[in-house]
Amino acid sequence: MLYTLYESQRTLMEPFADLAQAAAKFYSNPLSPFSETQVAHRMSAAYELMYRLGKDYEKPEFGIRTVDVDGVSCAIHERIEIDKPFCELRRFKRFSDDPDTLLKLKEQPAVLIVAPLSGHYATLLRETVHSMLEGHKVYITDWKNARTVPLSEGDFHLDDYANYVQEFIRHLQRHYGNCHVMSVCQPTVPVLAAVSLMASRGEMTPLSMTMMGGPIDARSSPTAVNNLATKRSFQWFENNVIYRVPSNFPGAGRRVYPGFMQHMGFVAMNPDRHATSHYDYFKNLIRGDDASAEAHRKFYDEYNAVLDMDANYYLETIKTVFQDFKLVHGTWDVRSVSGELERVRPQDIINTALLTIEGELDDISGCGQTKAAQDLCSGIPAEHRTHYEVKGAGHYGIFSGRRWRKHVYPKVRDFILANQPSQPNAARVRRARTGT
């Protein structure tokens, strides 16, 4: 019922948002007789703010058209490599007409970035992807909005998440011989499970794992997110935050944790900060500070675009990660594609290097939560395990913004290169000539 009411309210607000947008354009139009007055500037800014607060936010594009590789601009072609019911494996293929650059691109490591399935789209990692493309072949998990997935596709569970990751890793291994895996926030847990299961079976595991700001051990430095999960019972979550998708979507009838509820939770964590941000946007519009206003739009175009999560996956994550702590207790069993239950044993990982990264001021995954993977992966030699705490960085600062570009990305880049086996020069030239 709540989902239906929300959709009704959104539909009702849509014409008012469109009207506000039209009014904002009218008062700012240079041909308007009012456009040069201070009152017109204020009216335009007020209507623009009303439009931004009332509009519907769709999934943004990655929008990465080119990337600079050692001073040479390379074109980017974005394509879907694997299309699963709940996820697309998306590749950003780079092209260059320069022979030396082409050879360099072919030598660079292949990296699977596992994006979070926690309310926002994978485009939240746009800056992460852009930086990584400077020195890596990049793939990313692009999770689908559960309300667009028909019931005929079945349910999606936390086990399915781990199985998807394993399938994507094998895909890169078949193509490149091996790969590196990088997980940001929530997927650190299923990624660690996926690599652990592969190691326990004796499969080839990725060359390295980079885990950033994730709840490996949610007991450490608990945040507001952790406290909510521990103070409420499993039944409370099932009865109060799970709703069925309304009939106007392809996934009608599917039980989901709606994206709009997750968004309200995000905003509720820092309401003053968001109110101040919107007021500053209003003032920037009046002053004509286009750069600051555009930065605000870009941030909230991403922040306000949210997706629904299948109820099974969401509830199992709450239970497994934030209430029972099954990963750190060694009690987590994952059901494989064949239906067999397999115990997750991180200590079985031997040949995969580990880098854990945390933000000093992270208010979503507290300090120590990601670092816990260092102790769980006891089979990895100590010289192949590294931890890095980013001073002054919050949750988003470890994968976007100035600290990501200046401090975190160089650390990740050097770590991956240190664990990338070199190829004989003859083999490199042969691969370049054959285009493989």
In percent, how much of the chain has pLDDT > 90? 72
188: CB partners within 8 A, 6+ apart: 211, 212, 213, 214, 215, 216, 370, 373
Q: pLDDT tens digits, residue range 180-238?
A: 999 999 999 999 999 999 999 999 999 999 999 999 999 999 888 888 888 899 999 99
Q: Distance between CA atoms of 29 and 23, rounded to whole angstroms?
A: 10
Write down the domain spans for the chain.
2-56+267-303, 66-238+308-434
- pLDDT given at position 423: 60
Q: pLDDT tens digits, residue range 269-300?
A: 778 989 999 999 998 988 889 899 999 998 88
- pLDDT given at position 35: 63
Where residue 34 falls among pLDDT bands split at 50, 70, 90?
low
pLDDT over 60 at 385, yes or no: yes
Q: Averaged over 404-420, what is the pLDDT? A: 96
Average pLDDT value for the chain:
91
Q: pLDDT tens digits, residue range 320-361?
A: 999 999 999 999 999 999 999 999 999 999 999 999 999 999
Among candidate residues 169, 126, 164, 172, the one with its CA nearest the CA of residue 144: 164
Q: pLDDT tens digits, residue range 110-148?
A: 999 999 998 899 999 999 999 999 999 999 999 999 999
- pLDDT given at position 131: 97
- pLDDT given at position 1: 72
Q: Distance between CA atoms of 18 and 27, rounded to whole angstroms?
A: 15
3-state secondary structure the chain: CHHHHHHHHHHHHHHHHHHHHHHHHHHHCCCCCCCCCHHHHHHHHHHHHHHHHHCCCCCCCCCCCEEEECCEEEEEEEEEEEECCCEEEEEEEEECCCHHHHHHHHHCCEEEEECCCCCECHHHHHHHHHHHCCCCEEEEEEECCHHHCCHHHCCCCHHHHHHHHHHHHHHHHHHHCCCEEEEECCCHHHHHHHHHHHHHHCCCCCCEEEEECCCCCCCCCCCHHHHHHHHCCHHHHHHHCCEECCCCCCCCCCEEECHHHHHHHHHHHCHHHHHHHHHHHHHHHHHCCHHHHHHHHHHHHHHCCECCEEHHHHHHHHHHHHHCCHHHHCCCEEECCCCCEEECCHHHCCCCEEEEEEECCCCCCCCCCCCHHHHHCCCCCHHHEEEEEECCCCCHHHCCHHHHHHHHHHHHHHHHHHCCCCCCHHHHHHHHHHCC
Where residue 427 falls among pLDDT bands split at 50, 70, 90?
very low
Where residue 26 falls among pLDDT bands split at 50, 70, 90?
confident
- pLDDT given at position 255: 97
Q: Distance between CA atoms of 106 and 375, rounded to whole angstroms?
A: 35
pLDDT over 80 at 433, yes or no: no
- pLDDT given at position 436: 36
- pLDDT given at position 8: 81
- pLDDT given at position 193: 98
Q: Does domain 66-238+308-434 have CATH number 3.40.50.1820?
A: yes
Q: pLDDT tens digits, residue range 148-168?
A: 999 999 999 999 999 999 999
Q: Averaged over 246-272, what is the pLDDT? A: 88
Flag the least confident range among 29-43, 405-419, 420-434. 420-434
Q: Averaged over 254-266, what is the pLDDT? A: 88
Q: Averaged over 6-16, what is the pLDDT? A: 83
Q: pLDDT tens digits, residue range 71-82?
A: 999 999 999 999
Where residue 363 falls among pLDDT bands split at 50, 70, 90?
confident
Q: Distance between CA atoms of 398 and 390, rounded to whole angstroms?
A: 7
Q: Averaged over 362-386, what is the pLDDT? A: 95
- pLDDT given at position 369: 96
Paired tokens of 196:
């652990």
- pLDDT given at position 334: 97
Where residue 53 falls among pLDDT bands split at 50, 70, 90?
confident
More confident residue, 429 or 53: 53
Where residue 27 falls among pLDDT bands split at 50, 70, 90?
confident
- pLDDT given at position 264: 82
